[in-house]
Chains A and B, each alone.
Chain A
Amino acid sequence: MRGGTVRFVLRRLAQLVPVVLAIAALNFALAKMAPGDAADILAGQMGHATLEFTQQLRREFGLDLPIVEQFLAYMGRTARLDLGVSVIQQQPVIELIADRLPATLLLMVTALVLAIATGVALGVAAARRQGTWIDNLISVSALLVYATPAFWLGLMLIVFFSIRLDLLPSGGMMQIGVAQTAVGKVLDVARHLILPAATLGLFYAAVYARLMRASMLEVYGLDFITTARAKGLSEGVIAWTHALRNALLPVVTLAGMQVGHLLGGSVLIETVFGWPGLGRLVFDALVQRDLNLLLGILFVSSVVVVLVNLVVDLIYGLLDPRITHK
């Protein structure tokens, strides 16, 4: 089993390289389809640029080279993990991404943890009390949340918690201007994180709650649960140890598959809350035709998604034998 797993991982990692490069090539083609280029945008920003000046900008940034040359240069750089320089922001793309990545990771990880914790807890509770008012309440709430557009939910939360109650900040990641101790900074970021993470996470919590509930109900019908009950174990122990471990698998698998979806959702959430993450950056990069930055972020995102898929497959492979061989 061990050797097989290692070979499996190595094989998948080796496949990763051509897959990611192919994705990078397709991203380039896609991005180049957008009309206008960064030279136009820069000239437009300056408000008064002659044709010669725009063309000069194009030459300065290599945007006047034949497209095949641009493509080859881009692929060559990407293969070396050199993401180039942002023409609009005049900074290396790696730096810009590194700047914003922590904020996005913080938001996504917090949202995911919240979603899984809440979803699993509620799903287990609903399954244990199947048919009661608790079950119905949880199911209906999950349905409602699942039907709510995340960006609108975010706005409504801002209206309630920030504008009406003045309990939480309405946007940003940190309070401006105030010098703070390290602990103070952590608390400040935490305060700013609550609403966006909750907004992003609630949707997935609803999904996981329902999935967890269905999964638990399915597991309850299996033989080894009856055995456990015969052994005299309490319902609580059965639910939270035996049943949970097995029912968790689909939820974890789904969570892994939704990393890409989370990234997409963060575009809207970061816009609503002014959270300085990659989601908003990729949108801005697109609008400004900042090709290197746009492609750089898509590259990083695709690597992350491919890696997470690999990890999920691994986990699935590890956990699966236990269920089938019960």
Chain B
Amino acid sequence: MNTRTLSLALVVAAIALGAALPAAAQKKGGTLTYTFHPEPTAMSTISTTAVPVSLVASKIYESLLDYEGPGMKPLPGLAESWTVSKDNLVYTFKLRKGVTWHDGKPFTSEDVKFSIEKVVTPFHSRGKTYFGEVSAIETPDAHTVVFRLKSPVPYFLRAFQASESPIMPMHGFTAEEIKEGKIRTAKIMQAPVGTGPFKLKEWKKGSHVILERHPGYWKAGKPYLDQVVLRVIPDGAARAIAIEKGEVDLAPMSGLPPAEAQRLGRLPGITASQEGNEGLGPIMWLEVNNRSKPLADVAVRQAISLAIDRKRLVDVIWYGQGKPASGPIVSGNPNHYDKKLGPLEYNVDKANKLLDAAGYKRGKDGVRFKLTQNFLPYGEEWVRQAEFIKQELRKIGIQVETQSLDMGGWLKRIYTDWNYDFTSNFTHNYPDPTIGVQRAFISTNIRRGATFSNSMDYANVKLDALFVKAAQTADGPARNKIWEEIQAILRNDLPVIFLMEISYTHVWNKRVHGLITNGVSMYSSWDSVWVD
């Protein structure tokens, strides 16, 4: 071959190679610094599933499955593959071989059985919801786990998220901790040992958490990042400054005051995103006490719903970070949301006519009746919203007196005393509406002292039956039909006034890539995140 042919061959080879390389190459190495307040109190979601812990623990621990996209499609995780029996009562998982814990010991099926049976089910806040129907967990060999269910659980495969069912090492607990059930306060909660892409390097309370990459991680070549660092910055404005100056890369889960998030998102080097939350499905409504007149009257509730300008609520009070709600399920949920629905109607005239027709005449001062309003004491925006609702309801002749309570007082008043007219409330759909939606509206969950339960005293026999059926039908078109009916009934009955799909806003520096992977992106392992 002469020189010319050689150079030509080389050029062709170079072009061919260049075409095969991705346009933007993931860079290996680097540190991702994020900030959130308050700081975590433990390193595992068994201790608490509060946001700060879910954020950090999901990098350290994993579960059997991984998930993709807003629909949360299950992918192999610690389990390489799985099969489900025809009656949906037996789930068999084949575990990955060669996985090691952060301390080097091998990961086996014993760890899975122990975690689900002795740790997750009894102590995780949603443990019984996911695994309450499990009658037995078998480990025929070191890499196989079999779950036997008493009755079908349509969302069973969605239970295996890192924050929902973290697999923890059996050898990480002392015999005494296991025997006495001192799991929530076990030492491993502060000194974690997981299988995830990052392990704990340093934790200085009040200051920072440093996670470093786990070199023995089972996904070859991952994680891309060397370190994930949490900087504790208690003040919201200071967090925003830190993002703006580039001292911090990411402020997830609405950690910044919404005005700041909106402002920063408009800057060239910063992204403010509301994606990656579909698996949490945060939704906000006015919880209405159906016991008290006149709220027991559905016409009154419908009138209230008609009187609220949800678009203005989103734009002015929440700085555009949300969407008007159309019902109990968030519109971003590709699996169960009824796409035929639109946002709830806004029509003040219609509301007034409805109240007139239902017999609630205006007095001489224009007031039809008085109501007391409570609100979730989560911060400034919730106070603004309460003030907004008060003004909106004045337009239809309802005089509202707002009562301010702190969290302890609010929980007691709404869920233990049931002593309220209406209150703003905020909850999640979670990856399946049976988990997130049912508990608010099924009549069997009218229980004193249970937070975020059916405090409204709403009991609809037809709806109850639909819920039960939906909880036992496998995911698919048949189940979706049931959820369509449920959404229609709730939209009409309005036991709560659905207001808004609140967004979790994540603000990050554009040098960070690969953050949005699925419906619980911030609670994912970030093994494929990379920085410039």
Residues of chain A whose beta carbon lies under 8 Å from any beta carbon of chain B? 34-37, 40-55, 60, 88-91, 99-100, 170-172, 176-177, 274, 276, 280, 286-289
Contact = CB atoms under 8 A, between A and B. Distances in A.
Given A172-B233, A176-B242, A46 B412 contact: no
Interface in B102-154: 125-126, 128-129
Contact of A44 (B231, B233, B241, B407): B407
18 contacts: A40-B407, A40-B412, A42-B48, A43-B411, A45-B49, A46-B125, A48-B430, A48-B436, A54-B451, A89-B41, A90-B47, A99-B205, A100-B206, A170-B238, A274-B233, A274-B235, A286-B406, A288-B408
Contact of A54 (B128, B435, B439, B450): B450
A171 B242 contact: no
Nearest to B417: A35
Interface in B26-64: 33, 41-42, 47-50
Nearest to B377: A287
A176 B50 CA distance: 24
B13 interface: no
Given A91-B41, A280-B234, 10 more contacts: A35-B409, A36-B412, A43-B451, A50-B129, A53-B125, A60-B185, A91-B205, A176-B242, A177-B247, A287-B407
Interface string B236-275: 0110011000011000000000000000000000000000
B125 A43 contact: yes
A87 to B, nearest CB: 10
Contacts of A42: 48
A48 B125 contact: yes
Given A48-B436, A177-B231, A276 B206 contact: yes
B452 A48 contact: yes
Interface of B: 33, 41-42, 47-50, 125-126, 128-129, 184-185, 189-190, 205-206, 231, 233-235, 237-238, 241-242, 247-248, 405-413, 427-428, 430, 435-436, 439, 447-453
Given A90-B189, A177-B33, A47 B452 contact: yes
A36 B449 CA distance: 10
A289 B448 CA distance: 20
A34 B238 CA distance: 31
A51 B449 contact: yes
Nearest to B50: A45
Contacts of B248: 176-177
B145 to A, nearest CB: 25
Contact of A48 (B41, B126, B190, B235): B126
B430 A176 contact: no
Nearest to A43: B451
Contacts of A36: 407-412
Nearest to A86: B41
B48 A41 contact: no
A44 B51 CA distance: 12
A287 B234 CA distance: 16
A-B residue pairs, 9 tightest by C-beta: A36-B408, A274-B235, A51-B450, A46-B125, A45-B50, A35-B412, A36-B412, A40-B411, A46-B49
A51 B444 CA distance: 12
Contacts of A288: 407-408
Contacts of B33: 177
Contacts of B409: 34-36
Contacts of B231: 176-177
Contacts of B448: 51
Q: Is the contact region of chain B dominated by helix, strand, or loop, or is it mixed?
A: loop
A48 B129 contact: yes
Nearest to A286: B406
B450 A50 contact: yes
A34 B408 CA distance: 8
A100 B451 CA distance: 32
Contacts of A276: 206, 234
B450 A171 contact: no
Contacts of B185: 60, 90
Contacts of A46: 48-50, 125
Contacts of A171: 235, 237-238
Contacts of B242: 176
A175 B133 CA distance: 51
A12 B288 CA distance: 58
A41 B234 CA distance: 19
Contacts of B439: 48
Among B427, B428, B439, B450: residue with most chain A CB under 10 A: B450
Among B47, B189, B447, B451: residue with most chain A CB under 10 A: B451
A288 B407 CA distance: 7
Given A35-B413, A88-B41, A177-B247, A51 B447 contact: yes
A263 B450 CA distance: 37
B206 A99 contact: yes
A37 B430 CA distance: 26
B235 A49 contact: no
Nearest to B132: A50
A90 B33 CA distance: 25
A176 B408 contact: no
B33 to A, nearest CB: 7
A278 to B, nearest CB: 12
A98 B251 CA distance: 29
Contacts of B42: 90
A44 B414 CA distance: 12
B406 A90 contact: no
Given A89-B41, A171-B237, A287-B406, A47 B48 contact: no
A88 B185 CA distance: 11
Contacts of A47: 49, 125, 427-428, 452
A43 B436 CA distance: 15
Nearest to B45: A46
A172 B235 contact: yes
A288 B427 CA distance: 19
Among B33, B231, B234: residue with most chain A CB under 10 A: B234
Contacts of A177: 33, 231, 247-248
A263 to B, nearest CB: 19
Contact of A90 (B41, B238, B435): B41
Nearest to A96: B205
Among B125, B206, B413: residue with most chain A CB under 10 A: B125
A54 B449 contact: yes
Given A90-B41, A170-B237, A35 B408 contact: yes
Contacts of B407: 36, 40-41, 44, 287-289
A52 B126 CA distance: 11
A176 B247 contact: yes
Contacts of B247: 176-177
A32 B279 CA distance: 38
